[in-house]
Copies of this chain bind each other. A is one copy, B any other.
Amino acid sequence: MMEKTLTGWQKQPRKLNIQGEIERAIELITGEQVDLTASGRTDAGVHAIGQVANFKTNSNLPTEKFAIAINSKLKKSIRIQRAEEVEERFHSRYNCKQKTYRYIINNGEQGSAIYRNLEYYVPIKLNIEEMKKAIKYFEGEHDFKGFKASGTSSKSSVRKIYKTNIIEEGERIVIELTGNGFLYNMVRIIAGTLVEVGLGKIKQEEIASIIESKDRTRAGKTLPPHALYLVKVEYE
């Protein structure tokens, strides 16, 4: 029995059960019914381009052929980037050390027709310097209770953010967060809060107290998922 990991499944904002689709494709290739375990769930509509998942197989197909073989059985909206063999005790979720998400804002004068489903358009010029100051308050260990979807499970909402960044690429503003885990909607709410800072509706120096308040109503709105990317999942 060998243990495989798959890296990178990508999807368009559309109702597809990615896990089920990949399990079905693996069955077509190997004849085996496998349980695919991903590093975690992403919000519906998010592009999980750096997702990692593992499964067990007895197939004697060489590991380096798995990605192309599985892709041949998948819709084009889901692509496996590569497969690797791992130790049998490897677990995509439990062994995950950190994840990196990106939220892509288009802050150009008119927005883009072509990328309209891949980025979030803000027509008003954002103050990026204030956003850069604001994002630093999210670094470190915090209780992000005020930055998760209401009604989600009551387990600990403490998460540690290791690294934050705001990257300007022409008319695009990319918000990047690396942490040990993210709550449901958390990146989208942080991005929404940073946009309000960029618009001057929230002052950057208020962020610390907004986080501390654990009050969802003080944070910004939940931005739509189509501009959010899970770009990297890292292991020990």
The answer to whether A11 touches B113 (Cβ under 8 A) is: yes
Residues 108-137 of A at the B interface (beta carbon under 8 Å): 109-114, 116, 118, 123
Give the contacting residue for A110; candidates B11, B68, B110; CB below 8 A.
B68
- Cα A113 to Cα B47 in complex, Å, equals 9
**Which of the candidate stretches A78-86, A150-158, A193-201 sits at the interface with the other chain?**
A78-86
Chain copies in complex: 2
The answer to whether B10 touches A112 (Cβ under 8 A) is: yes
Interface assignment of A209: CB less than 8 Å from any CB of chain B:
no
The answer to whether B79 touches A10 (Cβ under 8 A) is: no
Q: A81-B109, A109-B81, A109-B82 are in contact. Are A114 and B67 (CB under 8 A)?
A: no
| Closest residue on chain B to residue A75 by CB atoms | B113
Interface assignment of A42: CB less than 8 Å from any CB of chain B:
no
The answer to whether A114 touches B68 (Cβ under 8 A) is: no
When distances are taken between beta carbons in the complex, the residues of chain B under 8 Å from A112 are 10, 79
| Closest residue on chain B to residue A70 by CB atoms | B110
When distances are taken between beta carbons in the complex, the residues of chain B under 8 Å from A9 are 113
A122 CB to closest chain B CB (Å) equals: 14
* 3 residue pairs, one from A and one from B, having the closest CB atoms: A10-B113, A79-B113, A76-B116
Q: What would 20 A/B residue contacts be, using CB atoms closer than 8 Å?
A: A10-B112, A10-B113, A10-B114, A12-B113, A49-B114, A67-B109, A67-B110, A68-B109, A68-B123, A71-B110, A76-B113, A78-B113, A79-B110, A79-B111, A79-B112, A79-B113, A80-B110, A82-B109, A82-B110, A114-B118
